[in-house]
Amino acid sequence: MGKMLLIIVAASLIWMGFSSTAVRESLVEATTQTSHAYRQAKANNLAKSGVDYAMNQLALDSTWSGVQSKPFDNGTIDAYAASTSNLYPDRSGGSNDAKQITSIGAYEGVTDTIKVVVQFPPKLLPPPSFKYALASNAKLTVGGAALIHTENDDPINANIHTNSDLEVSGASTVRGYGSYSNSTNLSDSDASNYFKPYDTTTGQKLVQKVDGVEFPQYNLAKLEAEATVKYSGNQHFSGNLTMGSEENPAIYYIDGDLTISGNISGYGAFIVTGDIDITGSVTIDAITNNDLPNRLGLYAGDDMKIAGGSQVYAQLYVEDELKSTGTSDIYGLAVAKNGIKAGGDMTIHYKPMSDNVIPQTWHVERAGTPYIVSYYE
Indicate if the pLDDT at residue 94 is higher than 70: no
Indicate if the pLDDT at residue 124 is higher than 80: no
CA–CA gap between residue 338 and residue 318 (Å, rounded): 8
Burial environment of residue 111 by CB neighbours within 10 A (0 to 12, 13 to 18, 19 or more): middle
- pLDDT, tens digit, 9 for 90 and up, residues 195-232: 999 999 898 999 999 999 999 888 888 888 889 999 99
Write the Ramachandran bin of 70: left for phi over 0, alpha for psi from -120 to 50, otherwise beta: beta
Indicate the SS3 state at residue 11: helix
| pLDDT at position 31 | 55
Range of lowest pLDDT (57-71, 214-228, 245-259, 352-366): 352-366
**Mean pLDDT, residues 142-166:** 92
At position 252, the amino acid (one-letter code) is Y
Indicate if the pLDDT at residue 377 is higher than 50: yes
Indicate if the pLDDT at residue 60 is higher than 80: yes
| pLDDT at position 292 | 53
Mean per-residue pLDDT of the chain: 84
Range of lowest pLDDT (22-36, 153-167, 235-249, 335-349): 22-36
- pLDDT, tens digit, 9 for 90 and up, residues 137-151: 999 999 999 999 998
Indicate if the pLDDT at residue 107 is higher than 70: yes
Range of lowest pLDDT (44-53, 284-293, 299-308): 284-293
**Mean pLDDT, residues 290-306:** 78
| pLDDT at position 165 | 98
Confidence of residue 15 (pLDDT cuts 50, 70, 90): very low
CB atoms within 10 A of CB 167: 16
Question: Which of residues 237 and 29 earns the better pLDDT score?
Answer: 237
Indicate if the pLDDT at residue 331 is higher than 50: yes
CA 316 from centre of chain: 20
Indicate if the pLDDT at residue 81 is higher than 60: yes
Each as own residue / partner, the long-range contacts of residues 215-222 (CB below 8 Å, 24 or more positions apart, any chain) are: 215/127, 215/129, 215/135, 215/137, 215/163, 215/335, 215/337, 216/127, 216/129, 216/317, 216/364, 218/299, 218/317, 218/319, 218/361, 220/271, 220/273, 220/301, 222/360, 222/361
Indicate if the pLDDT at residue 18 is higher than 60: no
Range of lowest pLDDT (8-17, 56-65, 78-87): 8-17
| pLDDT at position 13 | 45
**Mean pLDDT, residues 248-252:** 87
| pLDDT at position 9 | 45
